[in-house]
């Protein structure tokens, strides 16, 4: 399988003047196409920071992140944005849907940003929303949807560009147990059906148990969950 993401000796530190606070320390990670990975760790250990580095949102202090073989560190901001839009999708704990737009328009938005016409984007969005059981909620605003439905819309939005990898940061953290299980099972189903790699940051070992691999971030490095 192709490696969609590869990190080599990745380090990241926060700086307060001359004072350095290391977060990641020579971290290495390879993610294959279609693979599902859970990343666990205590609050503040750097899990979200790692996702931001994988997505090219932050830049490493040292080391490199390769997306489909391209080193993000060698790209300017515009090219990084284009690469991110082509290969990656993001799902967060808070859905970040646009409150004044319908579910259909929220899902279509990434393709509209890429310059696709409205009819094309909305057709794709409609197909995705139907696939995840929201065909009767196309014109509903986020305020008219339940928490689980809003997170489903966010997942559809992340998938509309057919990314090679989804980066999910505590995607079930705001949901009750029933909705959390439904959202997780949906993501894993799409992971298999669309052969899209899935990286989930979570505190929940029950979620980690459903993934192909579970890794723990501790003292700036990743180790297998035992």
* Per-residue model confidence as pLDDT tens digits over 152-164: 888 888 888 888 9
pLDDT tens over the chain, length 226 residues? 588 999 999 999 988 888 888 889 999 999 998 999 999 988 888 888 999 999 998 899 999 999 999 999 899 999 998 888 889 988 887 778 888 999 999 999 888 888 888 888 899 899 888 887 888 899 999 999 988 888 888 888 888 888 899 999 888 777 778 877 877 887 888 888 888 899 999 888 888 899 999 999 998 899 998 7
Q: pTM of the predicted model, to two decimals?
A: 0.86
CA distances from 45 to 17, 21, 187, 202, 220 (A): 21, 12, 25, 12, 7
Q: Within 10 A of 209 (CB to CB), how many other CB atoms are there?
A: 10
Q: What is the 3-state secondary structure (H, E, C) of the chain?
A: CCEEEEEEEEEEEEEECCEEEEEEEEEEEEEECCCEEEEECCCCCCHHHHHHHHCCCCCCCEEEEEECCEEHHHCCHHHHHHHHHHHEEEEECCCCCCCCCCHHHHHHHHHHHCCCCHHHHHHHHHHHHHHCCCCCCCCCCHHHCCHHHHHHHHHHHHHCCCCCEEEEECCCCCCCHHHHHHHHHHHHHHHHHCCCEEEEECCCHHHHCCCCEEEEEECCEEEECC
Question: What is the rounded CA–CA span in Å between residue 87 and residue 5?
Answer: 10
Q: Share the mean pLDDT of the chain.
A: 88
- CATH number of the domain bearing residue 210: 3.40.50.300
Full residue range of the structural domain in which residue 18 is found? 3-224
Asked if residue 91 lies in contact with residue 166, where contact means CB atoms within 8 angstroms, the answer is yes
Residue with tokens 């489903």: 152
Q: Within 10 A of 127 (CB to CB), how many other CB atoms are there?
A: 13
Which of 110, 111, 87 shows the shortest CA–CA distance to 33? 87
Per-residue confidence (pLDDT) for residue 1, from 0 to 100? 54
Number of domains in the chain: 1
């Amino acid at each position: 399988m192709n490696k969609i993401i590869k990190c080599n000796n990745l380090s990241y530190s926060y700086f307060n003047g001359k004072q350095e606070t290391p977060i990641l320390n020579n971290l290495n990670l390879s993610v294959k196409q279609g693979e599902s990975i859970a990343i666990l760790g205590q609050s503040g250990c750097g899990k979200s920071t790692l996702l931001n580095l994988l997505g090219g949102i932050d830049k490493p202090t040292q080391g490199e992140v390769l997306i489909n073989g391209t080193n993000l560190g060698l790209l300017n901001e515009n090219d990084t944005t284009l690469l991110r839009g082509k290969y990656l999708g993001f799902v967060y704990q808070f859905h970040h849907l646009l409150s004044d737009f319908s579910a259909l328009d929220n899902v279509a938005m990434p393709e509209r940003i890429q310059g696709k016409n409205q009819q094309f984007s909305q057709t794709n969005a409609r197909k995705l929303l139907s696939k995840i059981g929201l065909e009767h909620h196309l014109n509903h605003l986020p305020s008219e949807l339940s928490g689980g439905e809003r997170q489903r819309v966010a997942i559809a939005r992340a998938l509309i560009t057919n990314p090679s990898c989804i980066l999910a940061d505590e995607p079930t953290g705001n949901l009750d147990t029933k909705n959390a299980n439904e959202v997780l099972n949906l993501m894993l189903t799409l992971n298999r059906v669309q052969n899209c790699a899935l990286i989930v940051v979570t505190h929940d070992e029950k979620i980690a148990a459903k993934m192909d691999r579970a890794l723990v971030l501790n003292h700036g490095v990743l180790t297998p969950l035992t």
